[in-house]
Structures are given as structure tokens and as C-alpha cells.
């Protein structure tokens, strides 16, 4: 207990002497080692109901759907293989900059902000994911070596902790290096990730319900391909969670 008090005093002293710069507004960074300042962190928007029951995309309507399990047009024509997808917030403003700071600026310390967001998002949601195992969309080993850490794995690990679920590390492996998808059309993204994943050990995933975690959901092509491989290996339900929705 005494050690923790001393640690907090030292951290506050370092924050005062060497303040972090908020990667979004470029003002003073957050307390206790957080990246975003308090105002930018508090301004992160969450995706709230109403949203599509299957893919979780926000519905641009001013009324509640007439049915509880309302699906958007894309889901009604069967575009997605996963059973359900949810995202914490839209990929813009502070959340977008936080992810860029984390992922492209090589700042794994941004997980402090991410952890706070996840704790709040999953509070009270434990029953929805009861019986699930958690895994992540993996990086190719070359990209992992270049970046030095796997951001999706770190998000998945914290998601599992928040929900009290077991991690199923290595359920998927990326067997083919794929070009960045940021500027690709949806059809190109689908082709880009086709055959990129493999289930490491079908006996480990067979019959299980798995929550697949990634950083950003754009067209769903990556999540769809990961789901296809897991279900081909015998997984029962596949849910998807991403930090942001583009």
C-alpha cells in the first residue's frame, strides 16, 4: 500500500516536470500517464442505440426500431458471416487520433486511455458475452516485428479482463502479409484479406463461442474473413468487437 502511494506521488511529479502533450488538441496530456487530455478524453463519442442488431452500425433514425433485433439493409441481404458486431465509438475526432497515436506513432502507453474506455463500455455487459473466449485479429509476423507490439492483441487482452473471459491466444494466425487497406474500396478489401488467416488448431476453436477483437471496423471485410476461417474450423458463434467504427 505504501509502495503504491509513493509510486503515484512519483508519477504526478514526473507529469508536472515532463507533461505529456495531448495528441489531439496538443494541449497538456491527461493525468496518471494517459495520452489524451481530460477534455478530449471526455469528448469521445460512444455508439448508442439505435443500431443494427447484427453489425452494430448506428442507425440514422430519430425513432426506435419496431423490432428488437432490427437489421440494416446490408445485414438483411446477408453480407456478414459473424453473428454480431459492436464498436465503442465512431472513428473520428479524439478516438481516431488516439488510435493513430497508439498504432502508428508506436505508443503502447495509450492503452491506459483505451483501458478506461473499455471498462466503461463493458460495464454491465458481462452476461451478453457469457461463455465466450476472446481472441484478436493477428498481425503478420513482419508487421509485428516492425511495430514491436500487436495493438489488437492488447485491446483483446483488456477486453477479456473487463468481461472476465478467457483469452484464446493464437486462435488465428495471419499467413499472408496484406497491404494496408485504408484507401481501398470494399471489393478490394475483400480480395485483399481472402486467404490471409488460418485457424492455428481446429481442436482449440471447435464448438466454442469466440469474441474477435480488432481496432477499427471499416467495411467488415477483415472481421468477415476471420469469422469464415473460425467457423470453417468448427467455431459456433462469432461476435466481433472493435474500438472504432469507420
Q: What is the pLDDT of residue 6?
A: 53
In this structure, what CATH number is given to the domain that contains residue 231?
3.40.50
Round to whole Å and give the CA distance between 98 and 23: 7
Asked whether residue 137 is domain-assigned, the answer is yes
Choose among 201, 218, 214, 211: nearest CA to 236: 211
Round to whole Å and give the CA distance between 217 and 7: 37
Asked whether residue 16 is domain-assigned, the answer is no
Choose among 36, 56, 26: nearest CA to 243: 56
**Residues near 174 by beta carbon (within 8 Å), at least 6 away in sequence:** 138, 139, 140, 141, 196, 197
Round to whole Å and give the CA distance between 64 and 232: 36
Q: What is the pLDDT of residue 16?
A: 52
Asked whether residue 29 is domain-assigned, the answer is no
Asked whether residue 2 is domain-assigned, the answer is no
Q: What is the pLDDT of residue 19?
A: 63
Q: What is the pLDDT of residue 141?
A: 93
Asked whether residue 11 is domain-assigned, the answer is no
Asked whether residue 38 is domain-assigned, the answer is no
Asked whether residue 14 is domain-assigned, the answer is no
Q: What is the pLDDT of residue 2?
A: 64
pLDDT in tens, the chain (246 residues): 565 565 455 555 555 555 678 999 999 877 777 899 999 999 999 999 999 999 999 998 877 787 889 999 889 988 899 999 999 999 999 999 999 999 999 999 999 999 999 999 999 999 999 999 999 999 999 999 999 999 999 999 999 999 999 999 999 999 998 887 877 887 888 888 999 999 988 889 999 999 999 999 999 999 999 999 999 999 999 999 999 999
The structure's pTM equals 0.88
Look at the block and give the residue holding cell 495531448: 22
Burial, 58: exposed, middle or buried (Cβ in 10 Å; 0-12, 13-18, 19+)?
A: middle
What is the extent of the structural domain holding 217? Answer: 44-245
Asked whether residue 3 is domain-assigned, the answer is no
User: Domains in the chain: how many in total?
Assistant: 1
Amino acid at each position: 500500500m505504501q509502495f503504491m502511494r509513493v509510486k503515484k506521488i512519483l508519477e504526478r511529479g514526473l507529469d508536472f516536470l515532463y507533461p505529456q502533450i495531448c495528441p489531439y488538441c496538443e494541449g497538456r496530456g491527461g493525468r496518471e500517464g494517459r495520452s489524451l487530455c481530460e477534455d478530449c478524453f471526455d469528448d469521445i463519442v460512444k455508439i448508442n442505440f439505435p443500431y443494427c442488431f447484427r453489425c452494430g452500425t448506428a442507425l440514422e433514425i430519430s425513432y426506435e426500431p419496431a423490432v428488437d433485433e432490427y437489421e440494416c439493409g446490408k445485414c438483411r441481404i446477408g453480407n456478414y458471416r459473424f453473428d454480431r458486431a459492436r464498436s465503442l465509438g465512431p472513428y473520428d475526432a479524439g478516438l481516431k487520433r488516439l488510435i493513430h497515436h497508439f498504432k502508428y506513432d508506436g505508443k503502447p502507453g495509450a492503452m491506459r486511455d483505451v483501458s478506461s474506455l473499455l471498462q466503461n463500455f463493458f460495464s454491465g455487459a458481462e452476461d451478453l458475452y457469457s461463455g465466450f473466449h476472446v481472441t484478436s485479429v493477428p498481425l503478420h509476423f513482419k508487421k509485428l516485428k516492425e511495430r514491436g507490439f500487436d495493438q489488437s492483441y492488447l485491446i483483446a487482452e483488456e477486453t477479456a479482463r473487463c468481461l472476465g473471459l478467457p483469452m484464446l491466444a493464437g486462435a488465428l494466425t495471419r499467413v499472408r502479409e496484406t497491404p494496408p487497406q485504408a484507401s481501398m474500396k470494399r471489393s478490394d478489401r475483400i480480395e485483399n484479406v481472402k486467404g490471409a488467416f488460418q485457424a492455428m488448431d481446429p481442436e482449440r476453436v471447435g464448438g466454442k463461442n469466440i469474441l474477435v477483437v480488432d481496432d477499427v471496423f471499416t467495411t467488415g471485410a477483415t472481421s468477415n474473413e476471420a469469422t469464415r476461417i473460425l467457423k470453417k474450423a468448427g467455431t459456433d458463434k462469432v461476435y466481433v468487437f472493435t474500438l472504432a467504427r469507420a
